[in-house]
């Protein structure tokens, strides 16, 4: 049985410590230890929207409105963010 996207996101917790955001894998085996992924404020915002179930287009629309930026530029940034998650080993659906 496959996990739902929300269940997959629950594996990771976003923490804000000393002005920096960190994404922690709460199910890692411990050896080898995987350091938390550092995120900037916008990365944390993207993560939160994705974890709430927002689609790519919803994330793009909200960020474009909030930052008064072009949707295509934002879309490319969000896709790069998602690729960075995969590179770091954060595996989530869609």
Give tens-digit pLDDT for 56-70.
999 999 999 999 999
Q: Which residue has the higher pLDDT, 84 or 32?
A: 84
- How much is the CA Rg of the chain, to the nearest whole Å? 14
Does the pTM exceed 0.95?
no
How many C-beta neighbours within 10 Å does residue 20 have?
13
CA–CA separation, 94 and 52 (whole Å)? 13
Q: Tell the residue number behind the tokens 């230890």, with chain if given.
A: 33
Structure tokens at 23: 């994404």
Say what the alpha-carbon torsion angle 25, 27, 31, 32 is, to the nearest 10 degrees: -30
pLDDT tens-digit profile of 17-34?
999 999 999 988 878 888
25, HSE (Cβ side, Cα atoms, 13 Å): 18
What pLDDT, on a 0 to 100 scale, did the predictor assign at position 1?
A: 36
């Amino acid at each position: 049985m496959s996990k739902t996207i929300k269940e997959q996101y629950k594996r990771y917790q976003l923490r804000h410590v000393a002005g920096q955001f960190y994404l922690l894998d709460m199910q890692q085996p411990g050896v080898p230890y995987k350091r938390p992924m550092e995120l900037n404020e916008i990365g944390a915002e993207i993560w939160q929207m994705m974890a709430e179930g927002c689609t790519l287009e919803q994330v793009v629309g909200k960020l474009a409105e909030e930052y008064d930026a072009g949707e295509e530029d934002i879309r490319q940034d969000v896709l790069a963010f998602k690729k960075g998650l995969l590179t770091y080993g954060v595996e989530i659906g869609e």
